[in-house]
Amino acid sequence: MCVIYFAVDAHRELPLVLAANRDEFYERPTAAAAIWDDAPDVFAGRDLASGGTWLGVTTGGRFAAVTNYRDPSAPRGKLSRGMLTTDFLKSGEPPLDYLRHLASRPDDYSGYNLIVGAIRERTEVGYYSDRGGEPRLLTPGIYGLSNHLLDTPWPKVLRGRARFAELIETGEIAPDAYLDILADTATAPDADLPSTGIPLEAERALSAIFIRTPGYGTRSSSLLTIGRDRRAILTEKVWV
């Protein structure tokens, strides 16, 4: 995933609403969201190169989503970041315990942001990045995440989160209303671009919520909602 907007106990009907775009190289083999043969309680897309996922949910109300942390100068980890989400979905660990275990293994993965949660009698959603801060449970609210730390005010985070917040505050439940936010191809003015160590032309292209470049871009857009009864609905549009 490269941009995620999500609401924790902020929608009047739904403990979780999460809208996200997955950006990836077009040549990387991918399977659309489906029930997994090797984990029948998991519903998720699948990275066929490494076996993990960028976003998934279980029949028991557990979910997980990951983005990479953009830092081309950092060393690469030895494990796929898609296993961060997969391992949580297959485990029974509480969100914060799982994140704390990851924090004790700082060299296993390339830079990442991880959101994990469980909707049970109460909502527990945890966040951790191996590039800053301690694992923590999130308080009720509306959040935005791209390829830096949670709520870093990149233009795409601010623009999309503002539109997302408007929908949450009205109690909107129609998937297309949220997916429309994820279809925004506008790029940010150069003066507003972050500096992450990549060329300006690439920084400009990646500033869009929906990315399209010759070899890399938005592969899918997803909306995940989980109700108080733990009923999860994952809507996915596959683009490439």
Structure confidence by residue, pLDDT tens digits, 149-193: 999 999 999 999 999 999 999 999 999 999 999 999 999 999 999
- Segments of the chain scoring below 70 in pLDDT: 1
pLDDT of residue 107: 86
pLDDT of residue 106: 84
How far apart are the C-alpha atoms of 229 and 107, rounded to whole Å? 38
- Report the b/e string of 97-129 with b at 16+ CB within 10 A: ebbeebeeeeeebbbbbbbbbbbeeebbbbbbb
Residue bearing tokens 């990646």: 206
Domain boundaries, the chain: 3-238
- Using a 10 angstrom Cβ sphere, with 0-12 exposed, 13-18 middle and 19 or more buried, the burial of residue 40 is exposed
Q: According to the CATH classification, is domain 3-238 in 3.90.550.10?
A: no
Q: How many CB atoms lie within 10 A of CB 131?
A: 15
Q: Facing residues of 8 across strands?
A: 16, 141
Contact between 151 and 115 under an 8 Å Cβ cutoff? The reply is no
pLDDT of residue 22: 98
